[in-house]
């Protein structure tokens, strides 16, 4: 495909014709093994030759009045907020992504000395760090403990329902290093169309994670669409992060974000194979050490392909392959003992059990009754803390049940 004509969004390749009409051209499909295919134009898709397409430059030129209006409305909003909060200090959080770089460009037209801050998530790619270092008057904020060190120490990985890394490595880094007694006016690039959570945002927002502060967030481009941002950047020659040019729709938090899809994993394997391998090795170790066969009813391969960023149990019942693999990796030679891990509800209260609760029940009772920590505590007269310490000791002493 000839560069300068095509647009890609949500697995669909699109293009504008000479009259400015948008056409869907191809849909890409990524399989579980990360092999790819695409469907040719059919069922609502168009046949469009490049000679009939409008180039990026032509589209920008045709939309110049619209782009100018976008810019002027954003500048008016920014000036209004600077006047309204005249005693506040402007700050521009930047990720080097398209939205924050657009806001940086807009704000500095009116306030050239406005300070930028970049949160080093410890997860970003080289392109991101290189670009952050080129931004003038930009403070780089780093966490006390990197992401990979944290997950190793606390035995956690991010999931769609427990995405701890966003708060810890984005907003928390900033809130821990900015002066909470200062009045800050934070100009941010969040937009309504990004997610359901942000669709109702207005141009002023206060993040609860900021705590008891006199900070106000301003969203100058909250009503802009994706295409608006790209057209504006192209029209104003704003520097675009090289990672976008590799096909990524986001540039931050490389490799480990549970919201990334298989199409991103394809790019990761091609452009960042060492980072990708490191993360898969971490996931594999996490799965084995935590005996996730019984918790998710899946194999290690299932977990790496789509289980780790899923929303819970992989399948209702384990397959023979799942059971065989658990027996192979745990060193538990007795198949009957392995099968007990799949009976994972408390015999008393019916609560879903964790692997250490199942293992403790087998150590204490050696039968087919299994109890959660709460019921074990009540029945044995031991605190939950004592029970967890006992489980830890068994594990440290090499007991394969744990």
Distance CA 62, CA 175 (A): 42
Distance CA 309, CA 253 (A): 15
Pick the CATH number of 64-246 from 3.20.20.70, 3.20.19.10, 3.40.50.620, 3.40.50.300: 3.40.50.620
Q: Residue 359 above 80 pLDDT?
A: yes
DSSP 50: G
Outline where DSSP puts E strands in 227-288. none
Q: Stretch 70-87: mean pLDDT, rounded?
A: 97
The mean predicted confidence, pLDDT, of the chain is: 90
Q: What residue ranges of the chain are covered by domains with CATH 3.40.50.620?
A: 64-246
Of the given ranges (66-75, 175-184, 335-344), which has the lowest mean pLDDT?
Answer: 335-344
* pLDDT category of residue 396 using cuts at 50, 70 and 90: confident
Q: Stretch 240-259: mean pLDDT, rounded?
A: 91
Of 81-95, 297-311, 381-395, where does the model show the most confidence? 81-95
How buried is residue 231: exposed, middle or buried, by Cβ count under 10 Å (0-12/13-18/19+)?
buried
* pLDDT category of residue 367 using cuts at 50, 70 and 90: low
* pLDDT category of residue 366 using cuts at 50, 70 and 90: low
* pLDDT category of residue 311 using cuts at 50, 70 and 90: low
Of the given ranges (179-183, 184-188, 218-222, 348-352), which has the lowest mean pLDDT?
Answer: 348-352
Q: Stretch 396-400: mean pLDDT, rounded?
A: 76
Percent of residues in the chain assigned helix, strand, coil, to nearest 5:
45, 15, 40
**Is the pTM here over 0.85, yes or no?**
no
Distance CA 187, CA 85 (A): 12
Work out the percent of the chain whose per-residue pLDDT is above 90: 57
Of 98-102, 139-143, 361-365, where does the model show the most confidence? 98-102
List the alpha helices (DSSP H) in 113-171: 126-134, 147-154, 164-166
Higher pLDDT, residue 193 or 274: 274
3-class state of residue 187 by DSSP: strand
Q: Residue 343 above 90 pLDDT?
A: no
Higher pLDDT, residue 207 or 83: 83
103 closest CA partner among 200, 199, 241, 224:
224
* pLDDT category of residue 41 using cuts at 50, 70 and 90: low
Tens of pLDDT along 86-96?
999 999 999 99
- pLDDT score of 170: 81
Tens of pLDDT along 127-156?
999 999 999 999 999 999 999 999 999 888
Tens of pLDDT along 42-61?
777 888 899 999 999 999 99
23 closest CA partner among 1, 54, 67, 56:
54
* pLDDT category of residue 109 using cuts at 50, 70 and 90: very high
* pLDDT category of residue 312 using cuts at 50, 70 and 90: low
Distance CA 340, CA 266 (A): 38
* pLDDT category of residue 345 using cuts at 50, 70 and 90: confident
Distance CA 402, CA 398 (A): 8
Q: Residue 350 above 90 pLDDT?
A: no
* pLDDT category of residue 314 using cuts at 50, 70 and 90: confident
Token pair belonging to 45: 């898709």
């Amino acid at each position: 495909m000839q560069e300068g004509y095509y647009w890609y969004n949500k697995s669909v390749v699109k293009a504008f014709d000479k009259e400015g009409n948008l056409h869907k051209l191809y849909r890409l499909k990524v399989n579980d093994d990360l092999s790819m295919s695409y469907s040719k134009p059919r069922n609502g898709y168009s046949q469009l030759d490049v000679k009939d397409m409008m180039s990026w430059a032509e589209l920008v030129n045709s939309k110049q009045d619209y782009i100018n209006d976008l810019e002027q409305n954003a500048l008016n909003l920014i000036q209004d907020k600077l006047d309204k909060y005249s005693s506040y200090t402007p700050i521009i959080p930047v990720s080097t992504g398209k939205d924050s770089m657009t806001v940086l460009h807009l704000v500095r037209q009116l306030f050239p000395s406005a300070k930028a801050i970049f949160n080093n998530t410890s997860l970003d790619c080289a392109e991101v760090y290189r670009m952050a270092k080129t931004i003038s008057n930009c403070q780089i904020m780093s966490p006390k403990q990197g992401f990979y060190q944290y997950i190793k120490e606390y035995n956690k990985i991010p999931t769609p329902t427990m995405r701890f890394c966003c708060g810890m490595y984005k907003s928390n880094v900033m809130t821990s290093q900015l002066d909470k007694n200062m009045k800050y006016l934070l100009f941010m690039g969040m937009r309504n169309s990004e997610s359901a959570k942000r669709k109702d945002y207005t141009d002023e927002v206060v993040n609860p994670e900021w705590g008891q502060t006199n900070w106000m967030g301003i969203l100058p481009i909250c009503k802009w669409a994706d295409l608006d941002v790209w057209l504006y950047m192209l029209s104003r020659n704003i520097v675009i992060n090289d990672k976008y040019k590799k096909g990524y729709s986001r540039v931050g938090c490389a490799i480990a974000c549970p919201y990334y899809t298989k199409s991103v994993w394809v790019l990761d394997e091609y452009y960042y194979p060492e980072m990708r391998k490191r993360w898969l090795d971490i996931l594999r170790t996490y799965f084995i050490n935590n005996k996730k066969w019984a918790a998710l009813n899946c194999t290690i391969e299932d977990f790496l392909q789509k289980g780790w960023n899923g929303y819970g149990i992989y399948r209702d019942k384990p397959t023979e392959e799942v059971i065989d693999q658990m027996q192979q990796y745990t060193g538990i030679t007795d198949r009957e003992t392995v099968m007990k891990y799949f009976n994972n509800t408390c015999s008393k209260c019916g609560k879903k059990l964790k692997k250490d609760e199942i293992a403790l029940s087998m150590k204490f009772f050696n039968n087919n009754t299994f109890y959660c920590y709460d019921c074990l505590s009540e029945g044995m007269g031991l605190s939950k803390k004592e029970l967890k310490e006992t489980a830890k000791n068994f594990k440290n002493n090499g007991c394969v049940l744990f």
